Chains A and B, each alone.
Chain A
Amino acid sequence: MWGLLVASLLPFAGAAVLPLLCERRSPKAGWVATAFMATAFALISIATPTFLHHSARMSLQWAPVLGLSFGMAADGLSLVFSLLISGIGTIVFAFAAAYLGFQENRVRFFCYMLIFAGSMLGLVLSSNLIGMFVFWEFTSVSSFLLIGFWHEREASRNGAFKALLVTASGGLAMLVGFIVLGILAGSFEITDVVAARASIAASPWAAWAAGFVMLGALTKSAQFPFHLWLPSAMEAPTPVSAYLHAATMVKAGLYLVARLGPVLSIVPIWTPTLTVVGIATMTWCSYLALRQTDLKALLAFSTVSQLGLIMALLAQNEPAATAAGILHTINHGLFKGALFLLVGIIEHQTHTRDLTRLPSLARTMPRLYVPLALAAISMAGIPPLGGFISKELFLDTIVHMPWPIVVIAVFGACLTVAYCLALAVGLGIGRRVGEDTGRLHDAPTSLLWGPSLLVAGTVLLGLVPQPLVGNLLESATNAATASTQAHVHLSLFHFTPTLLVSAGAIVAGALVFTWLWLPRTPHAPKLISDLIYERTLSALEKYAQALTAAYMSGLLWRYLIIIVLTGFAAIGYVLVSIGLGPASAWPARPAQSFGYAVALIPVGAAIGAMFAPTRLSAILALGASGYSMALLFSLLGAPDLALTQIMVETVSIALFLSAFVHLPAYGSPRSRRFHPFHLVVAAVSGFGIAGLVWHARGQRVVDTISKYYVAHSAEQAGGHNVVNVILVDFRGLDTMGEITVLGIAALTCYALIKLRPEGKA
């Protein structure tokens, strides 16, 4: 267990030390990051046999009062995913280390990648729904950063934003579902939720929980109609596409479906919805894949399509289908990861990924072509490769379903064969026949070994599946179906009627490929959901701009009026609706009469500010008012407040002075008009606050908590300054929130002023 804990923390540790160890562009960065990933992979591999037959958990209390903890749980399911994440991660990291150009900021790239890998491991190893959600959003954010890695390109920024918008809002929906589940089960621990599944399913809220969790899974795994973000995410550097958008992150939705399957599949809407969405996505996106000319777009649609297939399998939550789904997850990670990396090499060597502009790869790059063809054939489900076995198992599951689903699924399988042939044969022949291709070099070994290793994996998975993953799959299936009886036996050939269906799909796919795809140039259609997305977003922006322009006039005094009046309207409404209580009496012993005198100073200074002839004198008058407030505070026995007031006053005068040169001309007092309305607002503000304080004094219903603070400050927190102890200890979480706001404010100010685009001063 400790090994797994260390393994999941290693990537984060790597991200923390990488900037310290390496220069920004140092090639070393990639190898250091790879070493961290490889160690994590080794630790997970060593730990795997231990947890195949009995799962284990450990947890750190976070906030037990709220039922929150950071827990880790290891069972077959999370180990399959952990092995994929760390294993493919190691290969992709090593590939990227050799692949990235010398101008790239490698440290940043690998930091993001390591943070992503760590969050992904955290996600699949979390024993707690809330912990899982936290890591889930972490992966969305790191995916955003990685898609936008080339942030100077507009398409990258748009793609990153689209991905974040879709997956993060899906994640929030999922959180709602998690909270409902947690409340129904009385615990956020996944094992408790699974144990309470009978009572959860009986609740009328279960359908809501299932619906919201489903939204999370469908957005993350880019299922219809949320598939739009994945093709746009292809703006990322190719290793990112291979790792996040083929092998791991998009599988998080599948993991979620498998993990919560035992609970949510009892809810009636769960299985049918996911099956229909999965199959529809599979078929529709395999058609779209066939129409693409950009190789990465083709792979993106094919990924979405394959994810749909797995989604439909895992939604069944019965042992055979689940085993098939998990096996295909492994297979897909291997062949799709390899295909992406190989396309990356093609782009690296030929400077294009447009398949209509590529020459015959079989002739010009034979060393690259062989693994490419093998991976594509595996994806098509042609024996004797790994993809064949899982596709057979898929068809085995599907044939028992209603006939429209069977027809659509078989049609999808046939289109899948067609686009795989477009990769394997189409690229082999090449569209640019007869042109001079003498300049092209075959793929260098430094890049080729990674994808070749993945392809070797998918070949072995076809030849010797049972010894390779049999036990792991059995354990994972048991975990995902909350049973102990799953029995998995994998073999390359088993003669069932589905073999005929499969053969038929392969033949039909080959026909589609030769008659429809080869003779014409594909032309990528514009996605309807993309159009809807763009329209919605631009309408939203327009509306937001109009709304903002209505009140953000740029005139400070208008803002003040809006703030003051809104604030008092809100407070007034509450006060009137709960009814005003008895007014408090005049204090029996007034504050020192000296205090009254001091209180007059800020009043005088404020009046002075009103009639100040220049802006500088107005600022100084305001300063005087502030400093005399500090004097008042110290007289009333609030030294902390007084100190703070002095410092805030000093700093804000400095701030005022620094903004001085940017301010417009200051009219003389004579030239200013008297606004009766402003007088009203000022009166509301001043008398309102005074009245509120006065009123609140008489309304004490419960004892104040301040007595508790005063009594326990020294003994519990070891501090005698109650104000400070409240800030840093008793109410530390509030302070945490406040300094976060301070930080964000500073960053916003910095970004707004310093990072303006050229010429837009």
Chain B
Amino acid sequence: MKARSLILSTAARVVYPVLIAFAIFLYWRGHNAPGGGFIAGLLTSAAIVLRFLASGRKQEPGLGVPFVTAVGVGLAIAVTTAFGPLLFGHMFFTHTYGFVDLPLIGRIELATAGLFDLGVYVVVVGNVITVISAMTDPE
């Protein structure tokens, strides 16, 4: 992936934030409408891969941490949400939810299941990018 395409890289720069925003939107609405952590994770991965293709860089684009770490972080989030209820005297994997009123936005729902879904999201992104970047840059 050495030959850079100017059109692709320019387009990617515009499309990338849109895709990420859409992924966050999909994650957020997942509990009540089509979407969720898994789908959002795949979309984010696709967005990152797009930037990866467009930039043609050898380095993984991202936060400066290897994406393998994300796998561990995601699993940690998921496990923590699963065991968290134990500290409050509830069963393993008990989820709860509540509603919060925010100014301007109105009433939104917060569910602990969303936190678990966040773990799913992070694992999926970590998995896809790890595998793809390992394939393209095997050194």
Contacts and interface: CB of A to CB of B under 8 A. Distances in A.
Interface in B1-60: 26, 29-39, 42-43, 45-46, 49, 53
Interface residues of A, number: 48
B34 A647 contact: no
Contacts of B82: 732-733, 736
A747 interface: yes
Interface in A726-746: 727-729, 732-733, 735-736, 739-740, 742-743, 745-746
B46 A721 contact: no
Contact of A658 (B97, B109, B132): B132
Contact of A718 (B68, B97, B128, B131): B97
Nearest to B99: A718
B37 A728 contact: yes
A93 B111 CA distance: 42
B91 A61 contact: yes
| Most A-side CB within 10 Å, residue of B89, B117, B123, B131 | B131
A750 B68 CA distance: 8
A753 B134 contact: yes
B113 A728 contact: yes
Interface string B118-139: 0110011011101110111011
A724 B45 contact: no
Contacts of A655: 128, 131-132, 135
| Most A-side CB within 10 Å, residue of B36, B72, B86 | B36
Given A720-B31, A747-B68, A640 B49 contact: no
B100 interface: no
A665 interface: no
A725 interface: yes
A643 B34 contact: yes
A46 interface: no
Interface string B70-89: 01101100110010001101
B91 A62 contact: yes
B68 A61 contact: no
Given A658-B132, A728-B37, A736-B82, A719 B74 contact: no
Contacts of A743: 71-72, 74-75, 123, 126-127
A63 B91 CA distance: 6
Contact of A732 (B43, B113, B131): B113
A657 to B, nearest CB: 8
Interface string A59-97: 011111000101000000000000000000000000000
A58 to B, nearest CB: 11
B118 to A, nearest CB: 10
Nearest to B34: A639
Contact of B35 (A643, A650, A761): A643
Contacts of B45: 651
| Most B-side CB within 10 Å, residue of A654, A717, A728 | A728
B86 to A, nearest CB: 5
Nearest to B50: A654
A508 B77 CA distance: 62
Given A650-B46, A728-B113, A753 B36 contact: no
A438 B135 CA distance: 58
A659 B134 contact: no
Contacts of A700: none
Given A655-B131, A747-B71, A717 B39 contact: no
B78 A736 contact: yes
B38 A727 contact: yes
A696 interface: no
B93 A732 contact: yes
A754 interface: yes
B22 to A, nearest CB: 11
Contacts of A753: 134-135, 138
Nearest to B70: A746
Contacts of A735: 78, 116, 120
Given A658-B132, A658-B135, A736-B82, A728 B34 contact: no
B18 to A, nearest CB: 15
Contacts of A720: 31-33
Contacts of A724: 30-31, 35-36, 117
A658 B138 CA distance: 11
Nearest to B138: A753
Contacts of A723: 34, 36
Nearest to A643: B39
A70 B86 CA distance: 9
Contacts of B90: 61
A203 interface: no
Interface string A472-497: 00000000000000000000000000
B39 A640 contact: yes
A721 B29 CA distance: 9
Given A62-B91, A718-B109, A753-B138, A739 B74 contact: yes
A717 B97 contact: yes
Contact of A746 (B26, B131, B138): B131
A61 B92 CA distance: 7
B8 to A, nearest CB: 13
Interface string A636-650: 000110011001101
Contacts of A640: 34-36, 39
B127 A648 contact: no
Nearest to A659: B135
Contact of B128 (A62, A63, A651, A732): A651
A560 interface: no
A433 interface: no
| Most B-side CB within 10 Å, residue of A639, A644, A727 | A727
Contacts of A507: none
A644 B33 contact: no
Contact of A749 (B26, B78, B91, B131): B131
B116 A732 contact: yes
A60 B75 contact: no
A230 B36 CA distance: 49
11 contacts: A60-B87, A68-B92, A651-B132, A654-B53, A658-B136, A718-B109, A727-B120, A735-B120, A739-B119, A745-B131, A750-B134
Interface of B: 26, 29-39, 42-43, 45-46, 49, 53, 68, 71-72, 74-75, 78-79, 82, 86-87, 89-93, 95, 97, 109, 111, 113-114, 116-117, 119-120, 123-124, 126-128, 130-132, 134-136, 138-139
Pick the 9 closest A-B CB pairs, nearest first: A718-B97, A647-B42, A719-B31, A639-B34, A746-B127, A658-B135, A720-B32, A753-B134, A724-B36
Interface of A: 60-64, 68, 70, 639-640, 643-644, 647-648, 650-651, 654-655, 658-659, 662, 717-721, 723-725, 727-729, 732-733, 735-736, 739-740, 742-743, 745-747, 749-750, 753-754, 756, 761
Given A61-B91, A647-B46, A743-B75, 18 more contacts: A60-B86, A62-B91, A643-B34, A648-B42, A654-B49, A655-B131, A662-B135, A717-B111, A718-B109, A721-B29, A721-B30, A721-B34, A729-B116, A739-B120, A740-B75, A745-B127, A746-B126, A750-B68
